Each structure stands twice: as C-alpha cells, then as structure tokens.
Structure 1
C-alpha cells in the first residue's frame, strides 16, 4: 500500500497494528493534540527539547487535515489514540471524532520509524520489525527542559544491534536530525535509569543477544510522559507504535 491507501485502511479499521515497517519510505509522525490554551507552552517545550520533540507540522485550531497527507483526517487516520484527561490515561480508541473540539491544535512530531527504512536499506535487520513486535520504549532519568506547564523525563526507544553494526546504525540515524537523529545512549541501560530492560513502559520487550548492544534514541512518547506532570484538561496522542503516515519521503529529511 502507498501512504494514502494505508491511511484509508487505518480509517476503515482494516489496519489496526503498529505502523513500524508498514510505510516504506514515507515519513511517519507522532501526534499530540491539545486545546489552544496549552499550545504555546507545548510549542516552547518542543523547541527546547528538539531531540525528543522535533515538530514537523502544526495544524491550526479546529482543523483536522495535514498539508503533508492528501485527503487525511487526523481524527481517524491513526490506528490507535491515547486519551489523557487531567494527566491520566483514560482511554485508547481507534477514532477520536467524538472527542474533537474546535479549539484543538495538532502537532505532528518526527518519528524514529522514519529512519528505520534507511537502516534496513543498509542490509541491517531491525529486530522488532523482524519479530512483528512494537518497538520497546522506556522512561529514563534524563530530564527534559521544562516550558510552562510541561516537564518530565526523556522517553527513549531501544533497538538491539550486533556490535559490528552499531557504528553504521548510529551514522545512518544521525542523518535524520528532525526524526530524533543519532542515539542518545549505547550500552548499559542502568546508566540512563532503566532498571529492567525486559519490561519497557511502552511497546513490547525485545530480546538482546549475547553479542548485541542495546541502542537508545530520544522518543516522541516523551510528551505523553510530560502530560502526566502538566495535567492538561485533555490531551490526545498516538498510542505508542501507532503513527500518522504522511506522503513525505524519508529522504526529504535526510542530511548526508
């Protein structure tokens, strides 16, 4: 499926899984939707934490169409959404039409799923794609820079690679600075506050082989962690691993 067909399959409910590996060379995006009263604070939070929250589009209040996705509808075109009320996750749904408000501002945020295709193109396998799982994501002890009501620790995604592949993977992903860029940490998870690598807070656990190194990237789930502190009246995000697929090409964001 091309990107438009994939969005239509998501909208109809025939595609409901993780979008990792599903969009080929098309840019995927994390989602944050907030009432306009919180939008400036969030944009400032994103600007101060670009590694974790690289904004690629802001959709004006009340609008639901991305200019980077023909015929799209933000309310229906993501497989699963998380609904937060006053900082508490209250529901996970496949359609947010019933929650929609005219003052909603939508932020699309660069996603590491975008650079996965470039890693695959190097002939390097990515374990969670190979095993049909969602990527593993963890809360860390790395503080983000606060802005207004938003603050919290960095969330990272993890992919294990053979020791011989780590340098190539790091170099390739660094070519996508607006999609989280290169790794924030290699190796021992305890050094960034992850006490149990087998039990991620988000996504699914991935086995790490004897000769493999866990590699960690800043993750677009970070705003969901910040929401626990900010406690906005309502905040809608993608469910981890279930992204918005645009019509943009990955190479549009590649800096060689």
Structure 2
C-alpha cells in the first residue's frame, strides 16, 4: 500500500498494514494524534550502559520506555504494539556496520534483547501543522532530512558520538513561535538546538543529508535543527556491538498512546 492510501485510515488499520508487511515507508503524517517512537534494540549486557546514555542525552534520546529482556512489548506504549513487527522497516547492525534492512524482526529476535523506545519529532510536527506551519517533507511525501552534526553527545561507557539533527525550513518571522510550540514536547526533542548557519554545527552541504531527503529552503526561511532520535544509531556504530537493531530513519513505531496524554514527559524509573 502507498503512503497516500494510508493517510486517512484509522490507526489500527495503519498498524495492521505495517505489521503484515504491506507498507515499509516513512510514517510522518500517519496515525495523527498518536505518539511515534524511534527504536534501539540491544543485548541485555549493553542495556544498562545504553540507558545511562539516554539519560545523559535527553534532547537526542528522550526515553518513552523500555522492555524487559526478551519481551517484544513495552506496556506503557500499548498492549497491542509489537516491537518486532510494528515499525515499517528496521536497520540491523552487526559489529557496528549496517548489515541489512528488514520489515520483520521475528526470525532474528533474541531472548536477551532489550528494546528502547525514544521520542520522535513527528509529535511536535502535528502541533506545528495545527498552527498553520508548512512542513516541506510532509508536503512532498519524503523523509525529513537528517544530518550528522559536530555536536558531541555525553558518552556512557562504549556509547558516544555525534548528535544527529533533523532540519525543517521555517519562515524567519515564525521561528520564535515554533520554538514555543515545540518546547511543550520534551519527549519529541523539545526546542531546536540550532537555528541558522549549518556550517557552525559541522554541516557543510545542506543539500546532502546523511539520512532522509533534501528539501529546498526559500528566501524568507531559515534552516531549523532539532536533536534527532537517529543519534543512537551513530552511538551504536561507535560501540560496535555484535548485534543491534534500530528503526530505519523516518520509519517509526506508532504507539497506542495519544500525543496529548501520558507519557508526554520522558520516562522516569519507578520509585
């Protein structure tokens, strides 16, 4: 099924279409009103270090929840959400190298896997659209451009590396308004981390994103950059675990949680 066919369908139909392998593209604009999440899946012996990495880098890795070892569900994100099948596409890394992209993790799922769900900027995009902003990647049915910046994350043992940023051109006159809107969504990376000159954060060719698709920047617009949930993929490449799995950039896990209700704020360990 193609993206336009899914746009006006209810969330459960979208989920079942993805689960059955009927769609493997980006999820921006799908199941509007529901929280979408990035994924990082690691063996249990690396889980504590990765959890510490998320806590040390809340802008890039705002944690929505994580699973028990071997459990392909995160209860607070919806009882029917299956980590193994409900993202449209997954990246499988072996020894830090992207080895393959697959649409179903069931054949390679391990009893020691711990799944981490990390908030996604698609949440604040819904709020920006409601406020009358035009988001070019949604308008053009492409994946938001993402870049590896020179901004360093705070390391945790073997996890470290550059911050990945997503970019959306916005009207210069409305940047402050957008900042205020996004600030209400800390689980969706919150406020931008940079506005303006890409070169000052190590991006020297704005027309060539490392992930996603390029978009034009008009004369009355400025590039606005947010911390991005693809950042853990860079950290995983640096850490070089024997195996690790993430979502494919832009192809998120759609949860059963409304964007406007809990968990809007980043995950807190139970007392």
Structure 2 length normalisation: TM-score?
Answer: 0.92
- Tell me, yes or no, if the aligned pair for 1:186 and 1:213 is still in contact at 8 Å: yes
Distance (whole Å) between structure 1 residues aligned to residue 264 and residue 231 of structure 2: 23
What SS does the aligned partner of 1:165 have? helix
1:167 aligns with 176
Q: How far is 1:254 from its partner? A: 5.5
Distance (whole Å) between structure 1 residues aligned to residue 12 and residue 64 of structure 2: 19
2:259 aligns with 250
Distance (whole Å) between structure 2 residues aligned to residue 254 and residue 91 of structure 1: 32
Distance (whole Å) between structure 2 residues aligned to residue 55 and residue 216 of structure 1: 20
- Tell me, yes or no, if the aligned pair for 2:81 and 2:256 is still in contact at 8 Å: no
Which portions of structure 1, spanning 4 or more consecutive aligned residues, are displaced by more than 6 angstroms?
A: none
Q: Does 1:155 align with 2:187?
A: no
Q: Does 1:42 align with 2:42?
A: no
Distance (whole Å) between structure 1 residues aligned to residue 12 and residue 156 of structure 2: 35
1:65 aligns with 73
Q: Does 1:22 align with 2:30?
A: yes
- Tell me, yes or no, if the aligned pair for 1:27 and 1:247 is still in contact at 8 Å: yes
Structure 1 length normalisation: TM-score?
Answer: 0.97
Q: Runs of 5+ in structure 1 lacking a partner? A: none
1:7 aligns with 15
Q: Which of the numbers 166, 174, 178 marks the counterpart of 2:187? A: 178
Distance (whole Å) between structure 2 residues aligned to residue 230 and residue 3 of structure 1: 35
- Tell me, yes or no, if the aligned pair for 1:4 and 1:69 is still in contact at 8 Å: no
2:127 aligns with 118
1:202 aligns with 211
Distance (whole Å) between structure 2 residues aligned to residue 155 and residue 15 of structure 1: 26
What SS does the aligned partner of 2:260 have? helix
Distance (whole Å) between structure 2 residues aligned to residue 225 and residue 58 of structure 1: 19
CA-based RMSD of the aligned residues comes to 1.1
1:229 aligns with 238
Distance (whole Å) between structure 2 residues aligned to residue 56 and residue 72 of structure 1: 14
What SS does the aligned partner of 1:57 have? strand
2:198 aligns with 189
2:269 aligns with none
2:226 aligns with 217
How many aligned residue pairs are there? 255
Distance (whole Å) between structure 2 residues aligned to residue 70 and residue 254 of structure 1: 18
Q: Runs of 5+ in structure 2 lacking a partner? A: 1-8, 266-271
For residues 141-164 of structure 1, give each alpha carbon's deviation from its aligned partner in whole angstroms, at most 9, with x where no partner exists: 000000011000100000001112
Distance (whole Å) between structure 2 residues aligned to residue 31 and residue 81 of structure 1: 9
Distance (whole Å) between structure 1 residues aligned to residue 12 and residue 145 of structure 2: 27
- Tell me, yes or no, if the aligned pair for 1:3 and 1:246 is still in contact at 8 Å: no
What SS does the aligned partner of 2:215 have? coil
Q: How far is 1:2 from its partner? A: 3.0
- Tell me, yes or no, if the aligned pair for 1:4 and 1:70 is still in contact at 8 Å: no
